[in-house]
Amino acid sequence: MKLLRYGEPGAERPAILDADGQMRDLSDVVSDIDGAALSPEGLARIAALDLSMLEVVAGTPRIGSAIARPGKFLCVGLNYADHARETGKEPPAEPVLFGKATTAVCGPNDDIEIPRGSDRTDWEVELGIVIGTRAKYVSEAEAMDYVAGYALVNDVSERRFQSERSGQWIKGKSHDTFGPVGPWMVTKDEIADVQNLDLWLDVDGERRQTGNTKTMIFGVAHLVHYISQFMTLEPGDIIATGTPPGVGLGMKPPTFLSARQVVTLGITGLGEQCQKMVQA
């Protein structure tokens, strides 16, 4: 299933894509695409529906974040060895974890704000894991049982705020609009091999990132297991799993985003995003 949300910011409604790619409204079935809807019980209820009986969404409304109000937006840094090397760092022995403020979450095609005082706003195409079942101290063998599905994420970053302003990375990761999620969440049964998905990202039509999830240092199952040793994962939580090489920081010379540029990105089976850069 491909679950999504449509409508103006703060007033999004839940929907599902049918076999013909039409949006069907889910408002009479679930209140939102949130933790309750993403639980095994919630997904089973949606899966049992006759989609032809649901109202078709008219027109081309704005698409919101695929997940409503995630409790946690966690990220994994340096999870592709070639990306670690392009940033001048060694591949980590354990997953590098950091957080992104949930106020950064936005729709997949919303404008991205360049923060005031920023001169190093950067792009990062990433696979997002969406949790469906409360996970605490889970084994790697059982970890996939706790996953509801996956979504495309752009882990937008301000590199100077991240690395030169002291403290933790979260400062460079959390500006409003720095977390586009979607266009939809794809349930895990539709992804044959999550460790073999192509990722790509363009800036103004020029390819900057090309990668595949098979080159992740720490795979999806390991990440869910590992993170659950330190905190409880709840339904609706998002884990962005790292980015392949080709970020602006790694270019020679380093190259960053400016107003009016357009970023497009995608992952096999998870759809595409398109964002225009604007000044905050």
In Å, what is the CA distance from 81 to each residue of 28, 222, 245?
46, 16, 9
Indicate the number of domains in the chain. 2
At which of 10, 25, 53 does a domain end?
53
68 falls within a domain: no
C-alpha–C-alpha distance, residues 19 and 107, integer Å: 23
Residues 35 and 170 both lie in one domain: no
pLDDT at 90 over 90: no
Which pLDDT belongs to residue 82? 78
Cis preceding-peptide flag for 9 (omega within 30 of 0): no
Establish if 189 belongs to a structural domain: yes
**Residue 58 maps to a domain:** no
Asked if residue 234 belongs to a domain, the reply is yes
Q: Is the pLDDT of residue 87 over 80?
A: no
pLDDT at 84: 76
Asked if the model's pLDDT at residue 163 lies above 90, the reply is no
As given in the structure block, the two tokens for residue 39 are: 């639980």
Residue 143, domain extent: 73-279
Tell me whether residue 78 is in a domain.
Answer: yes
- The mean predicted confidence, pLDDT, of the chain is 96
Q: Is the pLDDT of residue 166 over 90?
A: no
Is 64 contained in some domain? no
